[in-house]
Chain A
Amino acid sequence: MNRMINRERTVRDIFLLGASAGGIQALTGILKRLPATLPATVGIVLHRSPTFESELDRLLGRFSALPVGEPADGDPIKQGQVYIAPRDVHMSIQDDTWRLHRGAKVHFSRPAVDPLFMSAASNRGRRAVGVLLSGGGSDGVLGLLAIQAAGGLSIAQQPSEAQAPSMPRHAISEDHVDAVLRLDQIASLIATLAIGEIFMNGK
């Protein structure tokens, strides 16, 4: 495991967070620590019910200094914003816009993490950082591999800290992630990489 992450000082300005069960706690643990001046975009997929309206954006927004919202299809991707995938559609990146697509469910889920991670890999390459948080199953595992293959970074939440450790465990055993971090470390990694600095993965 690398002690120094982003040794080459690449500016990484799009952070993709994927989560399922236990995800709200994990996401709030990161969002509440992000600075309001973050020069980067945060995109979130949380597995959610397709048939019940929930105000996830408002809920997460209460913990975030950055504005949190659900994009509409074709909305421009802006910095200093947190975007969360709406219910019943996959959210992906195409050039400089968000695309919402009601395609086949992926790992029983729509939205799912893999379509977001895959599109970030092919559209943002080295600038993308994928983070797999608390959740069951293996959604996001292929997506993290794609991000890594495109020169981006892959991060898994410390499983012992996750309410549902299956997703980060799959990522660690099958993806050879660049780092396994606690929520507070993930938040400081985001702030550090967004300005192209080196993150020290100390104990």
Chain B
Amino acid sequence: MLGLPESLPTEGRKAFTGLVCPDCSGNLVISVHGDHISFTCRVGHAYGLTELVLAKDTALEAVLWSAVFAFEELEALLSDLRTHGLTAAFDAGACRARAELARAQASRLRAIIEADRTLTERRRENGEIGTGAP
């Protein structure tokens, strides 16, 4: 699955990418304007190259937190079902094991977030020309 099209569009032309907009998940279109590379989606969100990379990198964390939440929510639900004696539909041992696994998976994901390090924009020397930088 491609991120960028196999060949970049020529000056002023547009091409679909394999990427989605960090703001609305719409398809992103790439266009080249001299030294500036631009990404836009259907509704008008627009990103320079650096901005897109940083937005994608930053968005990863939110996805991971959603996964942490889902595991911790499941664990809380299963534990509370046990408390209220509502686990008749499941094997009691399997239910407890699933709750414990969910908790362990959540803490693994927390460790992944803790260890993750986002990219930062390289410091530019005076006069250096950039591409798509804000």
Q: Which A residues contact B (CB, under 8 angstroms)?
A: 50-53, 87-88, 101-104
Contact = CB atoms under 8 A, between A and B. Distances in A.
B95 to A, nearest CB: 28
Nearest to A88: B118
A11 B90 CA distance: 61
Contact of A102 (B57, B113, B119, B123): B113
Q: Which 3 A-B pairs have the closest CB atoms?
A: A51-B54, A53-B120, A102-B114
B114 A101 contact: yes
Contact of B116 (A52, A53, A101, A102): A102
Contacts of A103: 114
Contacts of B57: 51
Interface residues of B, number: 14
B120 A51 contact: yes
A89 to B, nearest CB: 9
B121 A50 contact: no
Given A88-B117, A102-B113, 5 more contacts: A51-B54, A51-B57, A53-B120, A87-B120, A104-B65
B131 interface: no
A51 B58 contact: yes
Q: A88, A101, A103 — which one has the most chain B CB atoms within 10 A of its CB?
A: A88
Interface of B: 54, 57-58, 65, 113-121, 123
A104 B119 CA distance: 18
Contacts of B123: 53
A53 B54 CA distance: 12
A88 B116 CA distance: 10
A51 B134 CA distance: 13
A101 B119 CA distance: 17
Contacts of B116: 102
Contact of A51 (B65, B115, B118): B118
Contact of A53 (B114, B117, B121): B121
A51 B119 contact: yes
A52 B118 CA distance: 10
11 contacts: A50-B58, A50-B118, A51-B54, A51-B57, A51-B118, A51-B119, A52-B121, A53-B120, A87-B120, A88-B117, A102-B114
Contacts of A52: 120-121
B23 to A, nearest CB: 16
Contacts of A87: 120
A52 B124 CA distance: 12
Nearest to A53: B120
